[in-house]
Homo-oligomer: A and B are copies of this chain.
């Protein structure tokens, strides 16, 4: 079974998309074809989209599903009245919340993902830049400033997790790659030792690491399964000796890893 789905919003559409995806993930056996429609913020744009819903209904024999955050009622009503199964994501909770708070909603558009607080926004951009500048242990002198330091062998998932931690949680995340050089010395760089309490180890299944490295440098010794197995075994031994908590990236997404790290911090 196939169903067309749209995430529609007057602004970025992030909220409609996030909630919509979570709901769709609860229904198996349906092939959802999703479309993304941000900035539907005028009646004419809404009318255009409503027309498309009508066409799709005729073509597919079933109406599209629409997840929307339309704070402006006039524009939203055009979609609500069109040929679709319309889910207004915010409205369902607005009345109850307003009563609980004793405050009326402003119904202003684009409040949640905009630049509401410039100082906080700048801080977040700053953490992204920090993650970029402190990727792959490029600068050993910045670890004091980090909120968290991820450690692990090459391609085990340090960089994307650091970037997600910065972007989503505003954390200053640095990372340090364990190399054969570190394993030979059998210790971590002296500069890292004082910050052991904020170091987290990442590990990964050797076969998966092998595949990831193969995409990068096909047929190399670096990508060989034997080398992956050895490096991961040495890393695990080092984490355990230094009592560094370890997370496995094999079956966890960067979203899940980041959420677990934040909970552990």
Contacts and interface: CB of A to CB of B under 8 A. Distances in A.
Nearest to A62: B100
A19 interface: yes
A125 to B, nearest CB: 5
Nearest to A85: B100
A101 interface: yes
Contact of A89 (B19, B113, B160, B252): B19
A10 to B, nearest CB: 11
Interface residues of A, number: 76
A210 to B, nearest CB: 14
In this complex, the member of A21, A25, A215 whose beta carbon has the largest number of chain B beta carbons within 10 angstroms is A25
Interface string A1-25: 1010000000111110011011101
A87 interface: yes
Copies of this chain in the oligomer: 2
A243 to B, nearest CB: 22
Contacts of A185: none
A119 to B, nearest CB: 12
A27 B97 contact: yes
Contacts of A139: none
B19 A113 contact: no
A220 interface: no
A125 B105 CA distance: 38
A223 interface: no
B38 A263 contact: yes
Sorted from nearest, which 7 A-B pairs have the closest CB atoms?
A: A25-B111, A26-B105, A12-B259, A22-B112, A113-B255, A38-B259, A15-B22
Interface of A: 1, 3, 11-15, 18-19, 21-23, 25-30, 36, 38-39, 65, 69, 71, 85, 87, 89-90, 92-94, 96-98, 100-101, 103, 105-108, 110-116, 121-122, 125-126, 128-129, 132, 135, 157, 159-160, 163-164, 167-168, 212, 215, 251-256, 258-260, 262-263
Given A15-B19, A132-B163, 9 more contacts: A3-B101, A12-B259, A18-B112, A26-B94, A65-B97, A85-B100, A87-B97, A113-B256, A163-B167
22 contacts: A12-B255, A14-B18, A14-B255, A15-B18, A15-B19, A18-B18, A18-B112, A19-B93, A22-B112, A26-B90, A26-B107, A27-B105, A30-B103, A38-B262, A39-B259, A39-B263, A65-B100, A115-B252, A125-B160, A128-B159, A132-B132, A132-B135
